[in-house]
């Protein structure tokens, strides 16, 4: 598994100041994707245990309210194991901070039984659709995408 970049103080991918990790690799190739440099699974840098330790150390900053995981595609079969390891380690160390995650996969169709959802607080799901782009939307690029409070949805089953 690989990652594209880490932003140590990001204010555009979730509420508050966050650490953001952009996973490498995506097969959706959405028209006018904002992050096309993350599509090639061979690009970026290797994602290792040291990468996780580095991300967690960045999150120790008291100004950081959470972790955002984007892509590329963090839920792609080639990436989901690493995404899960990162999310689990983060929640174990920072149970009061939030994880936001963006994916082109659908919560109820593709992800509802995946372990990673135990650790994610908010999931923005659905592929970006350029024809449904709306700059007024908060946290998402197109109107088909959903902002899901994962904890509430899992409790309601």
Q: Give the DSSP letter of residue 133.
A: B
- The structural domains of the chain, ordered by start, are 2-156 (3.20.20.70)
Local confidence band at 34 (pLDDT 50, 70, 90 cut-offs): confident
In this structure, is the dihedral angle defined by the CA atoms of residues 102, 104, 109 and 111, taken in order, positive or negative? negative
Distances (CA, A) of 63 to 25, 89, 93, 97: 30, 19, 16, 11
For residue 135, the model assigns a pLDDT of 94
Q: Give the DSSP letter of residue 32.
A: T
Give the 3-state secondary structure of residue 47: coil
Nearest C-alpha neighbor of 50 from the set 42, 58, 40 = 58
The pTM of the full predicted model, rounded to 2 decimals, is 0.96
């Amino acid at each position: 598994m690989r990652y594209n970049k880490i932003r140590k103080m990001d204010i555009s991918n979730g509420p508050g100041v966050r650490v953001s990790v952009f996973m490498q690799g995506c097969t959706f190739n959405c028209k006018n994707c904002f992050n096309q440099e993350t599509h090639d699974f061979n690009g970026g840098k290797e994602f290792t245990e040291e990468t996780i330790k580095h991300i967690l150390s960045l999150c120790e900053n008291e100004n950081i309210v959470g972790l955002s995981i984007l892509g590329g595609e963090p839920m792609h079969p080639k990436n989901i194991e690493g995404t899960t390891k990162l999310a689990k380690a983060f929640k174990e160390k920072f149970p009061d901070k939030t994880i936001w995650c963006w994916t082109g996969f659908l919560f109820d169709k593709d992800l509802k039984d995946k372990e990673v959802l135990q650790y994610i607080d908010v999931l923005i799901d659905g592929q970006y659709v350029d024809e449904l782009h709306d700059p007024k939307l908060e946290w998402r690029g197109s109107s088909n995408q959903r902002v899901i409070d994962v904890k509430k949805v899992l409790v309601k089953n």
